[in-house]
Amino acid sequence: MDFPLFDAVSPALATGNRLRLVKLSGFCPRAFLFFKLDDRFMQQRQAIRNALVRAKGWIQEPIWKFIWPDHISFLWYDTKNWGDALNPVLIEHLSGKKAKGIDINIHQSYWVDEEADLNAVHYLVIGSTLHHADRQTIVWGAGFTGEFNQFRQPPRSVLAVRGPLSAQSVRKQGVDCPNTYGDPALLLPRFYQPQSFEKKFKLGIIPHFYDFKNPNLQAFKQNPDVLVINIKSNIKKVVDQLCSCEKVVSSSLHGLIAADAYQIPSKWILISNRIPGKNFKFHDYYASCNFEETPLWLSSDTSWKYLSQACSLRKFCPDLDQLLEVCPFADSTHLV
């Protein structure tokens, strides 16, 4: 079975919707780039954005229904991040339908009122995006960024969340939430396996994209026993590089989730304080694995052998069969 989206470079996935919206507004991508680079045109760019916002999704939903009448809509951060970019890939492989993302940065600018078409649902799947749910949202696998996050509006239904800490926050807001946990990224090995699991590196380091240029990583990048993996690379490349490492440390949550999915010993590390949420999402995920984890700080003096010795393999993970069983868009003919 071919998975063409695995070979797509994530920046292309990240910019596709944005460029499509600009084209539909009568502007070419070159003009959009010109506006982006020149502050004198910020007002014009804002006018375009406001027009799209006032449309309340008119461009994103009905036009997609015309071009792809049988598609699945989902909310995401339209960025280059590996976990976010995995959303359309996983949805299409599970459903056999076209997956079309709605950029949260646009969606959050309007309110779903009582007259909204509640037959037009969208999903929250992979990511710390649960606080963006509204009356049209069905949640399957997403989590909160922080303990005190609030829904924009109570979602239509919650079928599964990333972990029990997110579930607790959901229930505190008066919304039903089952005890079905798991980040859907854990399902990736059911759809993609690297051609080789040959171990070429003693240790892989997967920094959060905020941390990738941190100076404390320079020595590791020059060490032949260590591979520093760019989480902004395309999905297939990240997995292939991950599986070429004997052990993995990561300041990116989805770096750790990918390591667990492919059963590679791992360790949570901190490289900076730039990641928002006070580590809530990490504790939420590890709680779903019935595992308590304390991160290690990585500094310029940290040895790769010390990091490697700290790695361990998760012996318990969420019930992925149960997670898959409640997936609202899964088609059994594609689960092979």
Domain boundaries, the chain: 4-183+324-332, 188-309
Res 68 pLDDT > 70? no
pLDDT at 14: 41
Average pLDDT score over residue span 252-265: 97
Q: Are 181 and 158 in contact (CB under 8 A)?
A: no
Task: Give pLDDT tens digits for 109-135.
Answer: 655 555 555 567 999 999 999 999 999
**C-alpha to C-alpha distance for 122 and 328, rounded to whole angstroms:** 11
**C-alpha to C-alpha distance for 183 and 18, rounded to whole angstroms:** 26
Specify burial of residue 16 (Cβ count, 10 A radius: 0-12, 13-18, 19+).
Answer: middle
Res 225 pLDDT > 50? yes
Average pLDDT score over residue span 12-35: 43
In the chain, the percentage of residues whose pLDDT exceeds 90 is 66
Res 95 pLDDT > 50? yes
Residues 72-81: b if buried by 16+ CB within 10 A, e if exposed: bbbbbbbbbb
How far, CA to CA in Å, does 55 sit from each of 63, 73, 137, 156, 272? 12, 17, 19, 22, 39
pLDDT at 97: 94
Strand partners, 75: 102
pLDDT at 31: 44
Topology given in CATH for the domain delimited by 188-309: Rossmann fold (3.40.50)
What's the pLDDT band for 46 if we cut at 50, 70, 90? low
Res 331 pLDDT > 70? yes
CB atoms under 10 Å from CB of 208, counted, come to 21
**Higher per-residue confidence, 334 vs 206:** 206
**Higher per-residue confidence, 306 vs 317:** 306
**C-alpha to C-alpha distance for 11 and 283, rounded to whole angstroms:** 29
CB-based contacts of 250, cutoff 8 Å, min separation 6: 205, 206, 207, 208, 256, 259, 266, 267, 268, 269
pLDDT at 17: 45
In the chain, the percentage of residues whose pLDDT exceeds 70 is 75
**C-alpha to C-alpha distance for 263 and 229, rounded to whole angstroms:** 17
Res 280 pLDDT > 50? yes
pLDDT at 26: 43
